[in-house]
Structure formats: structure tokens, C-alpha cells
Amino acid sequence: MACKKCNCSKCNHEFMAPMQALWTVYDGIGSKADVVAIAWEREDGKVFRYDLPVPQRLDKEAANYVSYVVERIAKFIVWAAGGWKLYLAGPDAVVKPVAKAYTKKGLRAFDYDFFTSIYGRPVEAVVVPLKKMPEMNEKSSLVKTVADGCRIGFDLGASDFKISALNRGKVVFSKEFPWDPRNNADPEYHYSKLTAGLKEAAASLPRVDAIGGSTAGVLVGQKMGLASLFRAVKEKNPSKFETAQNMFFRIEKDWGVPFAVYNDGDVTALAGMITMNRKGILGVAMGSSEAVGYVDPKGAMTGRISELAFAPVDFNPNAPKCEWSGDAGVGAMAFSQQAVNWLAEKFGFKFPKTMALPERLKVVQAAMAEGDEKALKVYVQIGRFLAHAIPWYNEFYDYENMMILGRVTSGLGGSIILESAKTMLKDCYPEWAEKIDIFMPDEKARRLGQSVAAAQIPVIRKGRRRA
């Protein structure tokens, strides 16, 4: 079973589009099909399951190919939804190598260590009969978009955090607070800084009815998994790391009001829903890495981790590799400053070795503003990658709107990415071109900000407002 590479001849390396990999599997099915089932279980009994039809009879070469595709699907799911236990059902030649990969010394040792760390329990991978596979079970929470009562919202970033206060929907306080969380090893620093900001915002309100938050990093419920915000705690003061992870529970107890905190990507998607009156939004932020957020077609938050920077979007094993995970063809290498860097060098840009990625991005952006052909190729290429990712993402996220944003989309380059993606989507995936609208946030969405959107997440319980 031969790999189906992108046949448009425009992707400039032997790009293997995920959907074309699936179609290669489907092409071999014939009149009878078997099923490979993949499921990841995570907190609160949540399960994400994906069933892949496969040929009933597989020779060794075909089994190896299908096993590779199944591993890519398993990896995508765990970085999309999260999980500590991988269930697999199907032919042994296909699923057993995948189960072996998700072990401490397996091919996906990075993923094993990462999810073992954030969930506090070893990752498991088991092969079971199809009838014993867990069913899909996701528990979404609807988001109230009417900003009633007196609310506070915060948005935690790496160099500053922003806090806003709303009184019946009107922003009465908004301030950015500088901080340096990544270099402070005492979790009390993080707690006291955020608490002081919340108290300052509360002083502008007659009372506080609810607090909502947005944060960088991986959340498991309201417990922080791994985040650069607590990097120094993890590395220099590990005995206090659990205290740092539970910071949001402590703040919730302090204030005694409805409290909710979500991944910053999800809150970005929520901001798009509020300002543009759209639901079913997948937000893709192209910055230092790829950050993704999701609001489902009912306007609900799913609680998925959506760390698609580590999820595969190019199935070619020889695609550029992520320096952190060591894996090839993941989202960070297609939709971030890292992607701009390797594409720029491929198309002829020369950078000093000491120049950081943000500065390299600025060089490419400046060149694009001057009409440089090499810069144009960079942005066109990212748009093409995005077009191939859109139907693939739709396999796991039910969405009709994709919002792209982030520093990589700033300036003329963002418009080129958008148009390039729309053109290739229409050419290669016409069904999805009709279904999915790709757009960048308007000025209203940009002004809203994540702290204001986050403030609107908690549901105020009547009769329990704090004086």
C-alpha cells in the first residue's frame, strides 16, 4: 500500500496530507471492511473515540502502513482531547505496534512522559476486543454569553496578565499587570500577584458575582497540568509544584463565587463567538507555537486540551521535526514562527545564527511589506498547509468556522495565508470549501479581549451573590 502524497505539486516537499493518507486506506477496502478503533480516556470518565475502516485482509506492507496511520490518529487525539489510557481494537499487526509506541521507552516516550506528568498517573495502552472499547463520552458545558451581574475576568500570559471587571456587561476596569512567572520558583508569587490584581478590579464593583479566567498552559479541569508559567517551580522547587497546579482551586475558595478557568485558546474562540455571533468555531493562533481553541456548534466548551502544536498535520516521516518532541510534521512546524523560520530559510532568507525566532519573523514581515517574492512564498506555503489541515481537523472537531490569528498572521502575510488556504481548499477539498468559512477576527473581536470574554463564562447562581 503506497503512501499518497499531495499531488498538487505546490507544497514544496513530499507533503503527505492526512486526508489523502485516510483515502489511501479506504481505497484498499474493497467489498469487505474491518475496523480499527482508537480511544483515549481522560478525567471524569471522558472518552474520545475514533473508528477507522480498514481492509479486511492486509499483507505485511499494508499492515505497516495502516499501523502508521493509526498511530498518527492516536497521537492527534491525545493532543486534541487529552488522555491517560489508550484503548485499541483491531488486527494485532496494526494495533500492537501502536500500543508499544505509547510506553515509557516507546516511540512516543515524549507523549508518555508529558501526559503522565499532567495527569499524575502513568499512561496506559491496552489492546481489547472491539466490543469492549469504551464509547465516545464528552461532557460539554454551555457558555452564557450575556454578561449579567458583576464579573471579573483574567487572562494570564507569560510576560503580563490582564484583568477586566464588568458591571452588567459594561467594562468598568481593565488593566495589564506585568509579572515574571516563568522565573519565579515560589508558587506564592503567582498566587499573590493574581490575587492583588483581582482585588484591584473588585474595588471598581459594588460586589463580585463571578470570576472567569483564561490561561496559557494545559488544564485538566481547573488544575494546571504543564505550563511555562510554572516552569521555574517545576524545575527549581518541585516539592511545591502541586501547590502551583492547584492555584485556581485556592483562588476559587478565597472568593466563594462561581469560578471557571479555561485554556486561552478556547477563550479566544469564545471571543469570536460573542462578537461575531458564530458557533462551531475552531480558533488557530499562529504565534511562538500553534495554539488552538474550540467552541462547538451549540456554543459549548468541551474541556479538551487542544494542544495541536504537537498533533500531526503532515504524515511524511521526513517532514521537519519539532525540536521539543522530536516528532515530524506536527502543527508547530506548519503554523507558527517555527514554520516561518524553516520555510524562510528554504526559500533563501539568511539569518544570523543568534537571531531569535520573533526577530526572524519581523524580518520576513518587513520583506513581505516590500513585496519580496521569497516572503510571499512563505505565507502562501503556510496557507497551503492550512488548507490540508482543515478537513483533517474536521475529523475531530465539529466546526464550520475557522478563525486564524496570532503574530504570524499580522500584516499583509495574514491576508495571503487566508487567500492561499481558501484557494487550495477549493481546489483539493471542494466539499470542505463549501462547508467551512476561514476568517480572521474583526476589530470588535480584537477589542473584546480574552479577559472580558473569560468573565462571561461562569454562571451566576441566583440568591448567592456576594455583598
The pLDDT tens digits for 186-196 are 999 999 999 99
Give the three-class secondary structure for 86.
Answer: strand
Residue spans per domain, the chain: 18-132, 141-269+449-455, 275-448
Which CATH number applies to 141-269+449-455: 3.30.420.40, 3.40.190.10, 3.40.30.10, 2.30.29.30? Answer: 3.30.420.40
Give the Cα separation of 251 and 288 in Å (integer). 29
Q: Is the dihedral of CA 180, 181, 185, 187 positive or negative?
A: positive
User: Residues with Cβ < 8 Å from 25, sequence gap 6 or more?
Assistant: 1, 52, 53, 54, 55, 65, 66, 69
Give the Cα separation of 194 and 203 in Å (integer). 15
Q: Hey, which residues does 220 pair with through a beta bridge?
A: 223
How confident is the model at residue 11, as a pLDDT? Answer: 47
Give the Cα separation of 68 and 388 in Å (integer). 19
Question: Is pLDDT at 467 greater than 50 in this prediction?
Answer: no
Question: Is pLDDT at 10 greater than 70 in this prediction?
Answer: no
Overall average pLDDT of the 175-198 stretch? 94
The alpha carbon of 332 is separated from its chain's Cα centroid by a whole number of angstroms, namely 10
The CATH number given to 18-132 is 3.40.140
Q: What is the CA radius of gyration of the chain?
A: 23
Q: What band does 466 get if pLDDT is binned at 50, 70 and 90? A: very low
Question: Is pLDDT at 6 greater than 60 in this prediction?
Answer: no
How confident is the model at residue 231, as a pLDDT? Answer: 84
Q: What is the pTM of this model?
A: 0.85
Give the Cα separation of 66 and 44 in Å (integer). 31
Give the Cα separation of 264 and 261 in Å (integer). 9
How confident is the model at residue 450, as a pLDDT? Answer: 83
Give the Cα separation of 32 and 27 in Å (integer). 12
**HSE-up (13 A, CA, CB side) for residue 437:** 10
Query: What is the tens place of the pLDDT at every residue in 12-52?
Result: 457 889 999 999 999 988 878 899 999 999 998 999 999 99
178 C-beta neighbours (distance < 10 Å), count: 8
Phi and psi angles of residue 122, each rounded to the nearest 5 degrees, phi first: -60, 140
Strands 290-295 and 85-89: unpaired
Phi and psi angles of residue 10, each rounded to the nearest 5 degrees, phi first: -110, -5
Average pLDDT, the chain: 91
CATH class in words for 275-448: alpha beta
Q: Is 236 left (phi over 0), alpha (psi -120 to 50) or beta?
A: alpha
Query: What is the tens place of the pLDDT at every residue in 254-286?
Result: 999 999 998 888 888 888 888 788 899 999 989
* Distances 391 to 376, 399, 437 between C-alpha atoms, Å: 24, 10, 12
How confident is the model at residue 141, as a pLDDT? Answer: 76
Q: Which amino acid is at 123?
A: V
Give the Cα separation of 50 and 36 in Å (integer). 8
Query: What is the tens place of the pLDDT at every residue in 336-364?
Result: 999 999 999 999 999 999 999 999 999 99
Whether 275-448 and 141-269+449-455 are alike in CATH topology: the answer is yes
Q: Hey, which residues does 133 pair with through a beta bridge?
A: none
Query: What is the tens place of the pLDDT at every residue in 232-259?
Result: 998 899 999 999 999 999 999 999 999 9
How confident is the model at residue 204, as a pLDDT? Answer: 98
Between residues 198 and 300, which one has the greater pLDDT?
Answer: 198
346 C-beta neighbours (distance < 10 Å), count: 15
Read off the C-alpha cell for 412: 499583509
Torsion, Cα 355 359 365 366, to 10 degrees, reads -80
How confident is the model at residue 264, as a pLDDT? Answer: 83
Question: Is pLDDT at 169 greater than 50 in this prediction?
Answer: yes
Query: What is the tens place of the pLDDT at every residue in 285-326?
Result: 898 889 899 999 998 888 889 999 999 999 999 999 998 899
Overall average pLDDT of the 208-226 stretch? 87
**Which of 28-37, 80-89, 306-315, 417-426 is predicted least confidently?**
28-37
User: Residues with Cβ < 8 Å from 170, sequence gap 6 or more?
Assistant: none
pLDDT over 90 percentage in the chain: 70
Overall average pLDDT of the 143-149 stretch? 76
Read off the C-alpha cell for 371: 513585496
